[in-house]
């Protein structure tokens, strides 16, 4: 019989499901070394946010087939390490949405009315009505950063409370935001106008320290910030200083840079700050939802069935998966590339399946292309299961076409993204031993394997231009690994595709477009 280790407190409903197919051991509060010592016996590991599943633990888990995170964020799991070992990582994308949204709303109201401190003072035997005069949220402006599942529910409730709603989410369409009752604005305007700012975004390199001394300085002196998303999105030291110096009105935090919260000046800021120990998902209902959601997936994987919310491996039947795997990678890479070339907000994605890919069972490739397209917005949170829904919620129209007669390659995939900044297209195919090659960019034929850091230019095909670009990159210490030009006619328009060894330094793209003959330049990270 299979064995499942449950290393964080999980609702009994989940344990009951697991017990149908496995021996279940519940051992909470294990130290990393203790977990490493025993994980080798188990086929599955079920966790919440308390267990940090590091590469070391994954490597010690020689029998592990699946890691189930009873919640949304999988940032406490080394997903790439699990993927490398072929371990499925699953989560529950929606089981605790309402709980987290309600916690953020509760934090906003508690902060406004000083409820925690007033409560504590009455319990101490005091009757102080002067200290705790609060503020109403009615007719105040709420700035929502991240208009996904939780942000949208916060918006719906806040609207009903009579708040004016501003939102910042670069990956949501204006129409979608309007449907939810929010005005989509840029981040600076949101910081300047909001009376309350609530964060509902993942922690990514772009969102780390999004709230810092500089952004705090843009806010109203009465502004209150709520973070029930992830620690590290707010620079805690800058926040403490801003509250102490009266630069903002206060903050309510459920999540911290390091959890459990250790020694911190945040603890000493009185009634202008509320701190909760990562309770966003801690409702009876949410814990039942996430436990059932994840336990069912662990049960299915143990029974040899696909998981429905795998964050790293598609939930498809094993035969189709094996056949499509290299093409899924192609579709994902092209989606990621075309999304970055298009920049801004993509409104339409056209997916053309060509040659042998023009069959009905190639539909997962469309999903893989969307997963790639949404990667910049959602990082590891977009998966093969949710990519279509996420695209729909962002107002992205998907057009799928098939052309079995296209015979340049056995099978090739053409993606065209149209967005607020224009239209771009890429085509790719698998060559040789299934290596991905870009075969066309914006209608210009090329033949290059994609690399981690790339630079594309649209330019006039004329003497000296390649040399000028090479020297410019050299002057910024950028090393070119490979370069290829694609053109349709001699001395007409052309595309240059360069693989570079490191990310392009800030500001250099503008310099590139100043080179006579270069019209546009784009940098992408794959």
Ligand X SMILES: O=C(O)CCC(=O)C(=O)O
Give CA 389 to chain center in angstroms.
Answer: 14
Beta strand 453-460 with 493-500 is: antiparallel
Among 362, 442, 375, 368, which Cα is nearest to 403's?
Answer: 362
Beta strand 346-355 with 411-419 is: antiparallel
If one asks whether residue 72 binds ligand X (CB under 6 A), the answer comes out as yes
Interface stretch with ligand NAI, choices 124-132, 222-230, 258-266, 434-442 (CB under 6 A): 222-230
CA 352/CA 367 separation, integer angstroms: 13
If one asks whether residue 172 binds ligand NAI (CB under 6 A), the answer comes out as yes
Residues 6+ apart with CB under 8 A from 205: none
If one asks whether residue 73 binds ligand X (CB under 6 A), the answer comes out as yes
Among 14, 143, 146, 335, binds ligand NAI (CB under 6 A): 146
Report the residue number, 73 or 143, with the smaller CB distance to ligand X.
73
If one asks whether residue 114 binds ligand NAI (CB under 6 A), the answer comes out as no
Per-residue string for binding with ligand NAI, 350-389, x by CB under 6 A? ---------------------------xx--x--------
CA 449/CA 454 separation, integer angstroms: 10
If one asks whether residue 419 binds ligand X (CB under 6 A), the answer comes out as no
Element (H, E) at 349: strand 346-355
CA 237/CA 303 separation, integer angstroms: 49
Residue 381 binds which entry of ligand NAI, ligand X, none, CB below 5-8 Å type-dependent: ligand NAI
If one asks whether residue 254 binds ligand NAI (CB under 6 A), the answer comes out as yes
Residue 171 binds which entry of ligand X, ligand NAI, none, CB below 5-8 Å type-dependent: ligand NAI
If one asks whether residue 233 binds ligand X (CB under 6 A), the answer comes out as no
Among 69, 114, 140, 149, binds ligand NAI (CB under 6 A): 149
If one asks whether residue 345 binds ligand NAI (CB under 6 A), the answer comes out as no
Report the residue number, 91 or 523, with the smaller CB distance to ligand NAI.
91
CA 382/CA 256 separation, integer angstroms: 23
Per the listing, tokens 């962002």 go with: 394
3-class DSSP state of 261:
coil
If one asks whether residue 283 binds ligand X (CB under 6 A), the answer comes out as no
Query: Do the Cβ atoms of 70 and 50 come closer than 8 Å?
Result: no
Longest dimension (CA), the chain: 87
3-class DSSP state of 457:
strand
Q: 97-113 and 284-302 helices cross at what angle (nearest 10)?
A: 160
CA 310/CA 209 separation, integer angstroms: 29
Residues 6+ apart with CB under 8 A from 338: 349, 373, 415, 416, 417, 424, 425, 426
Among 151, 335, 364, 411, binds ligand NAI (CB under 6 A): 151
Among 92, 198, 207, 425, binds ligand NAI (CB under 6 A): 207
Residue 48 binds which entry of ligand X, ligand NAI, none, CB below 5-8 Å type-dependent: ligand X
Cα angle 213, 216, 219 (rounded to 5 degrees) comes to 155
Among 71, 143, 355, 428, binds ligand X (CB under 6 A): 71
If one asks whether residue 276 binds ligand X (CB under 6 A), the answer comes out as no
If one asks whether residue 440 binds ligand NAI (CB under 6 A), the answer comes out as no
Among 374, 284, 294, 279, which Cα is nearest to 77's?
Answer: 294
Report the residue number, 241 or 283, with the smaller CB distance to ligand NAI.
283
Size of the site for ligand X (CB under 6 A): 10
Query: Do the Cβ atoms of 246 and 219 come closer than 8 Å?
Result: no
Q: Which residues are catalytic?
A: 230, 259, 278
> Over the Cα atoms of the chain, what is R_g?
25
Report the residue number, 22 or 197, with the smaller CB distance to ligand NAI.
197
Provide the minimum distance between the beta carbon of 14 and ligand X in the complex, in angstroms, as a whole number. 12
Residue 145 binds which entry of ligand NAI, ligand X, none, CB below 5-8 Å type-dependent: ligand NAI
Among 68, 250, 280, 355, binds ligand X (CB under 6 A): 280
Chain contacts with ligand NAI (rule: CB under 6 A):
72-73, 96-97, 100, 145-151, 168-172, 200-202, 204, 206-207, 228-230, 254-255, 278, 280-281, 377-378, 381
Chain positions contacting ligand X, by CB under 6 A: 48-49, 71-73, 96, 278, 280-282
């Amino acid at each position: 019989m299979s064995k499942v280790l449950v290393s964080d407190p999980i609702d009994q409903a989940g344990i009951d499901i697991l017990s149908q197919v496995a021996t279940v051991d519940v051992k909470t509060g294990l130290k990393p070394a203790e977990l490493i010592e025993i994980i080798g016996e188990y086929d599955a590991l079920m966790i919440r946010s308390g267990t940090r599943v590091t590469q070391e633990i994954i490597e010690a888990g020689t029998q592990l087939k699946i890691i189930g995170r009873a919640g949304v964020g999988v940032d406490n799991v080394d997903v790439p390490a699990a993927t490398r070992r072929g371990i499925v990582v699953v989560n529950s994308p929606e089981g605790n949405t309402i709980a987290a949204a309600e916690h953020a709303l509760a934090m906003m109201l508690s902060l406004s009315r000083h409820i925690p401190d007033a409560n504590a003072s009455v319990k101490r035997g005091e009757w102080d009505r002067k200290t705790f005069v609060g503020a109403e949220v009615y007719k105040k402006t709420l700035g929502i950063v991240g208009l996904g599942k939780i942000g949208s529910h916060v918006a719906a409730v806040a609207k009903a409370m009579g708040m004016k709603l501003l939102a910042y989410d670069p990956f949501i369409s204006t129409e979608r935001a309007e449907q939810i009752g929010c005005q989509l604005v840029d981040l600076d305007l949101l910081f300047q106008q909001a009376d309350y700012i609530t964060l509902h975004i993942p922690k990514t390199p772009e969102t780390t320290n999004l709230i810092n001394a500089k952004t705090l300085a843009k806010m109203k002196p009465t502004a209150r910030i709520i973070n029930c998303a992830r620690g590290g999105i707010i620079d805690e030291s800058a926040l403490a200083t801003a509250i102490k110096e009266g630069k903002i009105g206060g903050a309510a935090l459920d999540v911290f840079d390091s959890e459990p919260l250790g020694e911190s000046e945040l603890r000493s800021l009185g009634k202008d700050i509320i701190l909760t120990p990562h309770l966003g998902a801690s409702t009876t209902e949410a814990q039942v939802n996430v436990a059932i959601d994840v336990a069912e997936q662990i049960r299915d994987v143990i029974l040899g069935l696909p998981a429905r919310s795998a964050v790293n491996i598609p939930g498809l039947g094993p035969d189709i998966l094996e056949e499509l795997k290299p093409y899924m990678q192609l579709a994902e890479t092209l989606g990621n590339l075309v999304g970055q070339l298009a920049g801004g907000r993509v409104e339409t994605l056209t997916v053309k399946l060509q040659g042998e890919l023009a069959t009905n069972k190639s539909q997962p490739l469309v999903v893989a292309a969307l997963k790639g397209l949404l990667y910049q917005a959602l990082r590891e949170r977009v998966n093969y299961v949710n990519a279509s829904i996420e695209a729909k919620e962002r107002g992205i129209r998907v057009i799928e076409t098939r052309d079995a007669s296209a015979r340049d390659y056995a099978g090739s995939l053409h993606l065209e993204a149209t967005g607020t900044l224009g239209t771009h297209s890429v085509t790719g195919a698998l060559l040789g031993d299934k290596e991905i090659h870009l075969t066309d960019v914006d209608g210009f034929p090329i033949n290059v394997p994609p690399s981690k850091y790339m630079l594309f230019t649209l330019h006039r095909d004329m003497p000296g231009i390649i040399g000028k670009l090479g020297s410019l990159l050299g002057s910024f210490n950028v090393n070119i690994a490979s370069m290829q030009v694609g053109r349709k006619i001699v001395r007409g328009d052309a595309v240059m595709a360069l693989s570079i060894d490191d990310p392009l330094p800030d500001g250099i793209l503008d310099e590139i477009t100043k080179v006579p003959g270069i019209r546009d330049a784009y940098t992408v990270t794959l």
